[in-house]
Amino acid sequence: MARGKKLDDKTREEIKAFYASCGNMRETARKFNVSPSVVKKIVDEEKDEVEQLRTQKKQEWIEEAWKTINLYMQHVQDPKVIARTSARDSAILIGTLHDKMLKAQELELKRQELELKRKEIEEATDTTTRVVIVNDVDEMRKVLNERNQNNSDN
């Protein structure tokens, strides 16, 4: 692309969509024949929109993967396939699918955990609460004694 030439809105949207699906600025730049800095500028202009697109693309990919897994599961449950499959291959298949399902659950739990942490951080900025953790028992006793003395003096 010629230096300084303005990109049309369609190309900008295509760049955002492609970046959302691959997540790689250099690859996106090569595909659209622009510099990585141009891709970064476009992505940064509407960061929330691009992040939303990336999340949507990931979800679409996950749904497609589950469709494929379910089709394969139907295929391997066919009695003819079972009869031709060795015990070793069946064990590998079951182990792989089990691993993928556990990984999906783990990722969902991590997503939920991150969402909770984000909410906690947002709430923490709204209120000014301070938590002090004392690791030294003697220091903790000293502080408690001082507080008790102050309370008895009042």
Q: Residue 71: what pLDDT?
A: 84
Q: Which residues of the chain have pLDDT under 50?
A: 1-2
d(CA 121, CA 104): 26
Instruction: Indicate the burial class of 10 (C-beta count within 10 angstroms; 0-12, 13-18, 19 or more).
Output: exposed
At 1 the three-state DSSP class reads coil
Is the model's pTM score more than 0.75? no
Q: Residue 110: what pLDDT?
A: 86
Q: Residue 65: what pLDDT?
A: 82
